[in-house]
Every structure is written in structure tokens, then in C-alpha cells.
Structure 1
């Protein structure tokens, strides 16, 4: 079995459609289809189910993925050695929460892109996570440590959340400090409770038992804008609110603690592109550690 055939298989497994796999390989979808059919014929196995939404791995396909990933890692090492440790290439797909991906990774990504211009990077920053166990992403930054699957996991960073109010509503600042929030009549901004994508986001009760949001969004970036715009008060990650002059933290003695967890499939962990991104992300997180957990008395 040659590596060239397995590249086509891996791209379809990662992207789910012939068209997207073809784009990643810089060939047309017909070529990808022909190569997949030839590989299935050679192996005398069906590797993908053809579904309306795309190509889904069969049991035989899932069994082949670790071997293909191992060959990809070996090919990358050979390429790197041959080029004197030069450019990494291929696709890198990272699944992250909307807040962390949009406000922390995205503004800092230019340096990594400049260092590795031949990498194709998919930053999937949304409400919900892709699953590295099912090869939906190369790695994920999650709100809780996964307990199942062939994954390598570790804590990436602890972070704090606090209660924030619009900076120009000083009357709200005084009211929130003086009385239970539920008795002030001040609107509370938060998540839509019946579509929370992670239980770690159900934290209003840690501000006050039974506290409910009357202005809700599934997007933490939308919540930040609503609070800054004067719609109400709400809980935000400190790293997301930091440096925004339209926001003020109130009840500075109330802190909610959470953590980000890094997860990746163990078969791809040795790949140079994976190691390079993790090393870069670790360095960025370490450099910005005071954003994640502000020093006592320094409210962001």
C-alpha cells in the first residue's frame, strides 16, 4: 500500500467530502473519487459509506486511519529531515470554544501563520466542539477533561470568570454591590439554558442560587456585546473582558474557576505540525497567564 493512496484516504476522512478533500490536495473531486475507489478495490474493503451529507468512515475505514496517520507522521519527519527542518505543510484543524478561539487564539495567530506559511489552518471556534476521537478535528480545547476515547489529554490553563456590568452604569455598580442581584431589577445576561453545549457554562447559580438570565444568547461574544452595550450584567471570562473600556467588573470578591483542557488523538500526537502548534499555544497561554487569572486586587 503506497503513501500516495493513503493521502487521499486521509483527506476524505478528515474533510468528509470529495470536494473539500480535493481542495486540500489541490486536485479535482473526480480524481479523489477515482483514487478512493481504487484503494477500496485493492483492499477489497469498503472504507466509506456514501451519505447525503458526505463520506462517513466504515468500521474498516476507522481501522485504517491509525495506520494512515502513522505513515503521515513518518512522511512529515522524512520531509523535515530532507529539508533541514524546513516548512511544515498539510492541514491543521483545531476545535475551540467561541470565546477562547475568537478572542485569544485568533488575534495571536498571525505569528504562527508567518512561521509556517505552508500549513492550512482551520480554527473551528463555535458553540460546541468537534471530536478528536472521531477524527473530526486534530485537536480540541475543551471545557472539561474527556474521560473516553483514544486521546491524549492535559490541562492547558486555569481561568477565572467574574460578574461584569456596563462601565457607564454606575447606578448598577452600586446596586449590585449592595443587594442580591435578583432583587435589584437589573437585567441579567447569560446563556440559553436548554441549549447549553457544556455543563461548565451553567454558572449563574455560583453568583446567586437560583439566578436566571432574562436576556440570553448561545454566543459568549454576543453576551459580551450586550453587557458592554448596556443590556444588563452578566458573567464573562476575565480574558474575554480584559481591556474593554465599556466593561467593569463588579463584586470582585466573587470568582468562578474553570479550566481549558487540550485533547488530541494519540495517533497524531507525534506529527510535527501538531507539536508545533501545541508548543506555540503553550507559549502564548503562558505569556498571557495574568489574563486568565488576574492578580488579586486587579479586576479586569
Structure 2
């Protein structure tokens, strides 16, 4: 049997207690689509159908009734462990998270309030800018980085892959035409990109992967500034899909040009088991797994 996440059991428990998928999702602070996906994942892992649809909502099957007793015992035990470990007051103190500007400002900022609401006594510092704080030097508790560190007293695991594509505004494409081949970018189009000597990670070199020798005409160390330049019609630019896909002002250009990068979750080995770090890492893993279609559309 594949490993089953505790969050999937929590979804099952919430639906069983409320009798409805939507009500269970609200109780957990997630959307019904996410709750339904987690329930289907749990049923697939167990090889059993846990609910039957009725006129009023979800009714437990025989397998669901059996599982409910076990999961309620697990939830009760987990609650006692949390109270013993944290003095009954929940997580407290400060959790400092370092992330790239795009992931921090556009992805984490959208989902982090849910984690904070579950731990209201925990202060959270989200440092999202062009660069990373160092877990090795204890500048951050958790860093979301673009490569796996090779040295230092660190623990790292792969968080998720994400996709980048070339985008242009509708106004720009109407004025300058839509390129059909990567080679056209060098001769007939302006490009937005990073300032070469201000690159804080080599993984941010994108243009050569689209066509050798491409150079940016307008440059900024800020991915947010680059995106605004593309929206304003100044040039074409490579942008993370999780930032650009939801903006109706932007259009994919040369859709065959797909760039993949990876986020790594990194922390100092001495604090990896602290409750605030361990629970945040678990929550983050579950969140990016649920949002895989946003990171890699």
C-alpha cells in the first residue's frame, strides 16, 4: 500500500463528521475541489469506496464506517501529542521563511494565511525578494531555493517542479506580430530578462534555452518588474506559469518552448524536527502537491 498523508485522513474525517464534501472542506479551510481530490487519492490508496452519494450529501460505506473508528482514534492521539509537546497552546514563536520573489509573493502569499489561521500564536516572517536568506547561518528557518545545497549542515528535499514559458501582451503582439520560430526573437523582438551581474542563481538564465545567444533589451533583477514590463507591452519575457497563466492580458508565445525548474525546501539540520518547522514543511508539501496543475500547467 502506498504511503498515505495524514491530511487525506483529515479530509475523510471532516466529510464523515459533516456529511457533506463542501462542509468538510470549509471546516478544514480548503476548497471543495482540493478536498475531493484528496478523498479520491485516499480511496485509491485503500482500494475501497468510503462514501456513497445521497440526496443530502455523503453517506459512509461499510469500509468508511470501519475506517472512521480508526481515524477518530488517530485524531484523538494526535491531539494529545500536540498538547503534550506544546503545552496545550499550539505553535508559538516565530517562523522565518525565505523564498524567491515570484514563489513567495505569488504562490506562498496566496496560501500562507491558511497555515497561519491554523496556528494563530505563531508569527510568520515571509521574506520574498531577489535572493535567499541562508539557513546555514540561521538567517531563515526554511528557505525555498532553486537548487539543492551541496555543502553545509542542511537538510533539503525536492518540493516541486515548476514551468516557465515565453509571454507577451496582446498589445505587443498586435503591434509587432507573433513570432513563429525562436530565431525570430533575436532579430525582430524586444526581450525582458535579468540583469546578468545581479543574478542570484544560475537557474535564472532562461533565454539561451529558448534560442542560443538571445539577450534581453530591458533588464531587472525583479521578476515582478519583468512581468509588469511584459504586461505594459515593452517586450516579450519568460515568466513562471504560476504567475502569468491567470492574467488575461498575457498570451503564451512559442508554446513549444517550455522551461522547467525545481524548488527545494531547505532547513538547518538542528531545527528540522522543531514543531513549527516540521509542521510547516508538511503543510507546504501538501499544498504544492494539491496545486501541481498551477505550478506545471
Unaligned stretches of 5+ residues in structure 2 = 1-79
Aligned to 1:269: 272
Q: Shift of residue 78 of structure 1?
A: 9.0
Q: Matched residues in 1 for 2:284 and 2:197: separation?
A: 32
1:183 and 2:187 matched: yes
User: Aligned in 2, Cα 1:238/1:141: closer, same or farther, shift over 3 Å?
Assistant: same
**Aligned 8 A contact 1:165 1:172 in 2:** no
SS in 2 for 1:253: strand
Residue from 245, 251, 255 that aligns with 2:254: 251
Residue from 138, 144, 147 that aligns with 1:144: 147
User: Aligned in 2, Cα 1:180/1:279: closer, same or farther, shift over 3 Å?
Assistant: same
**Aligned 8 A contact 1:161 1:236 in 2:** yes
Aligned to 2:161: 158
Q: Matched residues in 1 for 2:187 and 2:96: separation?
A: 46
Q: Matched residues in 2 for 1:195 and 1:172: separation?
A: 31
SS in 2 for 1:88: coil
User: Aligned in 2, Cα 1:90/1:84: closer, same or farther, shift over 3 Å?
Assistant: closer
TM-score of the pair, normalised by structure 1: 0.69
Aligned to 1:290: 293
Q: Shift of residue 84 of structure 1?
A: 7.0
Count of residues in correspondence between the two structures: 217
SS in 1 for 2:144: strand
**Aligned 8 A contact 2:178 2:253 in 1:** no
Unaligned stretches of 5+ residues in structure 1 = 1-76, 295-300
Which moves more between the two structures, 171-180 or 138-147? 171-180
**Aligned 8 A contact 1:173 1:250 in 2:** no
Residue from 90, 96, 101 that aligns with 1:98: 101
Q: Shift of residue 80 of structure 1?
A: 3.5
Residue from 109, 114, 119 that aligns with 2:112: 109
Q: Matched residues in 2 for 1:172 and 1:152: separation?
A: 49
User: Aligned in 2, Cα 1:83/1:131: closer, same or farther, shift over 3 Å?
Assistant: closer
SS in 1 for 2:148: coil
Q: Matched residues in 1 for 2:179 and 2:141: separation?
A: 43
SS in 1 for 2:180: helix
The two structures, once aligned, show a CA RMSD in angstroms of 1.9
Q: Shift of residue 138 of structure 1?
A: 0.5
Q: Alpha-carbon deviations, 1:146-183, whole Å to 9, x = none?
A: 00011111110001111000023333684312552011
User: Aligned in 2, Cα 1:248/1:87: closer, same or farther, shift over 3 Å?
Assistant: same
Aligned to 1:29: none
**Aligned 8 A contact 1:180 1:208 in 2:** no
